[in-house]
A = this chain, B = another copy of it.
Amino acid sequence: VLDEERAARVLESFARQGLMRHLGAGIVRLDHGFCAVAADRRPELTQQHGFIHAGVTSALMDTAGGYAALSTFSASDSVLTVDFTVNLLAPARGAQVIAEAAVVRTGRTLSVCTLEAFVLAYDGRRVHVATGRQTLIRLTDTSDQPPPEGERP
């Protein structure tokens, strides 16, 4: 289980992500080494066929993985994605997309997450739409905050 301090830290950091707010995304589950992020389908999130854009799905997968890793770190450490892969299994056609990330390896420097994404289809089924892998690096004693006043981000 995740202690309250770490949970608060993840939620506070997520709240600072302008993109997640802009996409209407929220953390829907958070545990030690696990994070799920979801967004409802809106016209603002679509590709040319009207389905949820793979760019939304992958942004949610990347973000979920970052917070899954951060949830295992001490409060003085920060996290950055090193790389990730996304395999699209089906069009994201439905009312909501949910990205789930689980830490499969955590080391002193690097973490690896499995990433999965699902849509809640119109008939109520949960459809597996994407699968991926993510490598992340721990930044020891590095702030998760924006650059100091006067420096442009």
Contacts and interface: CB of A to CB of B under 8 A. Distances in A.
Interface of A: 13-14, 16-19, 21-23, 42-51, 53-56, 58-60, 62-63, 80-91, 93, 104-105, 109-110, 112, 114, 122, 128, 131-133, 135, 137, 144-147, 152-153
Contact of A147 (B49, B105, B147): B49
How many copies of the polypeptide does the oligomer hold?
4
A82 B135 contact: yes
Centre residue among A16, A19, A22 by max chain B CB count within 10 A: A19
Nearest to A14: B48
Contact of A132 (B63, B105, B133): B133
Contact of A44 (B22, B83, B122, B144): B22
